[in-house]
Amino acid sequence: MEDSKKEADRTVGLDLGDRQSHYCILDTQGASMEEGRLATTKSGLEGRFGACARMRIALEAGTHSAWVSALLSALGHEVLVANPRKLRAIYENDSKSDKADAEYLARVARLDPKLLSPLTHRGEETRRDLAMLRSRDALVCVRTQLINHVRGSVKPFAGRVPSCSSNAFHTRAVEGIPAPLEEVLSGVLETIETLSAQIKVYDKRLEAIAEERYPQTALLRQVPGVGPLTSLGYVLVLEDPKRFKSSRSVGSYLGLRPRQGDSGSIRPQLRITKAGDVLLRRLLVNSAHYILGHFGPDTDLKRWGLALAQRGGKSAKKRAVVAVARKLAVLLHRLWITGEVYESLRKASKPVPQKLSA
């Protein structure tokens, strides 16, 4: 019984690798009592930690952290998944190694777990649906690169591909490709056609998933400019809206707030932090572009963004787009929490600003 109690007071730092992981175990006094390496597999982890009494195990968020944390929790351990952005001491260590990283994680977890800014991984179903959304995004990125390649390749031969949508590019581009490049670029156009067809398949599947599994996305799509992909991405990334104390904190969570570097009376204007999910931040920025653009309907959010852009300055338009994206993130969380009907013009009595110039 006494041995089990001592084991329960131990702290473990686990530095996950793709094939091998290093661990360091500290006793109640903070002395290193065991260091080692194990295979980053289910059997490897169960072999070392399966028969142990409850321990506090700290590991860094990464590719394997989701399934590893779930496995260790099922084995009865207290698992802390550290936020990598809060562990700069690991990356700035002049004597960095997997062994040293494991010991650092253990010591921080033993001292004060809050210093790790622990994360909570999403559920398995949410991670699977989010993987599908990311797969669709990967195909779009590849298609964009290939389209840019074709457009750039024809210009040295006095060719020019007509303006068109990405979905129609493989058919419209043929008329602008010079004869010397027809055979060279034919394979690229075929690949673009295949990618466009697969993207459409993903779009249909994702829309069906949103309707069947995530009915709350309908609340978010009340806002003009927020479509099925943005609303689904928002729900999947946040997963549980109640884990945020206020809607305003969502903007910071997604990296849409400016950095701070104040010193004395100096208040420099810095770029946004770009923390959080890259894909969702890009979707929100795209929605902000639509809201502020020519086709975006008249709304309070659009008026607010246009007024912000009119303040002038070198990067006024860019700052307005980011600000609208941040405000949109807050608005969507509020709609999700309250279930309210969105009123696009609650402040309709105010004068309409001029349109944002290109």
pLDDT at 1: 40
pLDDT in the model for residue 347: 74
Rounded-to-integer distance, Cα 280 and Cα 300, Å: 23
Q: Return the structure tokens found at 113.
A: 């777990």
pLDDT at 350: 53
Please compute, for residue 110, the number of CA atoms within 13 A of its CA located in the half-sphere on the CB side. Answer: 22
φ/ψ of 180, rounded to 5, equals: -60, -20
Q: Nearest to residue 185, comparing CAs of 198, 205, 165, 169?
A: 169
Q: Give pLDDT, residue 307.
A: 92
DSSP assigned state of 4: H
Mean pLDDT of the chain: 90
> Which one, of 242, 229, 336, lies nearest residue 284 by Cα?
229
Kindly give the residue spans of alpha helices, DSSP state H, lying in the chain. 2-8, 42-49, 65-74, 88-91, 98-111, 124-154, 169-172, 182-213, 217-220, 228-238, 249-253, 278-292, 300-309, 316-338
Task: Quote the CA–CA distance of 183 and 316 in Å, as a whole number.
Answer: 45
pTM of the model: 0.82
The model's pLDDT over 147-171, given as tens digits with 9 standing for 90+, comes to 999 999 999 999 999 999 999 999 9
Q: Is 305 helix (H, G, I), strand (E, B) or coil?
A: helix
What's residue 3's pLDDT? Answer: 47
Stretches in the chain below the pLDDT threshold 70: 1-8, 89-91, 260-267, 269, 314, 348-358
What's the pLDDT tens digit per position in 228-253? Answer: 999 999 999 999 999 999 999 999 99
Angstrom distances, CA of residue 251 to CA of 34, 41, 190, 271, 280: 42, 36, 40, 14, 11
User: Is domain 2-116 annotated with CATH 3.30.420?
Assistant: yes
